[in-house]
Amino acid sequence: MVGLAAFLAMCFGAAGVGSLFTAPAIPTWYTGLAKPSWTPPSWVFGPVWSLLYLAMAIAAWMVWRRGARAALSALALFGVQLALNVAWSATFFGLRMPGAAFGVIVALWLFILATLIAFRRRSLASAILMAPYLAWVSFAAALNFAVWRMNPRSPA
C-alpha cells in the first residue's frame, strides 16, 4: 500500500501544482475568453480530473507492482506525461498562451499514448485505466485548439 500511496501523492501533487496556475486564471482570464458552444461548464473539470488522477495513480501502481525494475521505461514515460500535464496548465493558464499550450498538449497526448502502450505490455487493466485520460486529453486538445483560434489576440 505504500507504493499506491506514493503514486497517489505523485498524481495529486501534480494536480495541486497545476491548480496553482489554473485556479487564479479561471475567474479572470479564462472566463473572458471566447469558447466553443461545446465547452463543458467549469464545475465538470474538477471531478473529471480527480477521477483521472486517481485512475492514473492506480494504473502506475499496478505496473510498478509487477516489478519496478522491469517497468522502469513505462514508469519513466508516465513521469514525463505527468510533467507535461503540469506544463500544460502552466502554459495555458499561467502564461495565458493557448497557442503554445496546444503544442504542449500534443506532446502530452503522444506521451500518454506511449505510456498506455507501455503499460499494456505490463498490465491490460492499467492500460484500460489510462484510456479515459487519453480520451479526455483528446477532447481537451480540441478545446485548447478552438480557444486558441477563437481568441487571436491571446499571446502565442
Q: What is the pLDDT of residues 16-49, one digit of tens each?
A: 999 999 999 999 999 999 999 999 998 999 999 9
Cα 77 to Cα 110: distance, rounded to the nearest angstrom: 10
Give the Cβ contact number of residue 1 at 10 Å: 6
**Mean pLDDT across the stretch 130-145?**
98
Nearest to 109 by CA among 83, 131, 148, 138: 138
Contact between 132 and 75 (Cβ < 8 Å)? no
Q: What is the pLDDT of residues 74-129, one digit of tens each?
A: 999 999 999 999 999 999 999 999 999 999 999 999 999 999 999 999 999 999 99
Taking only the tens place, the pLDDT of each residue in 62-73 is 999 988 777 899
Domains (range + CATH), the chain:
2-150 (1.20.1260.100)
pTM for this predicted structure = 0.94
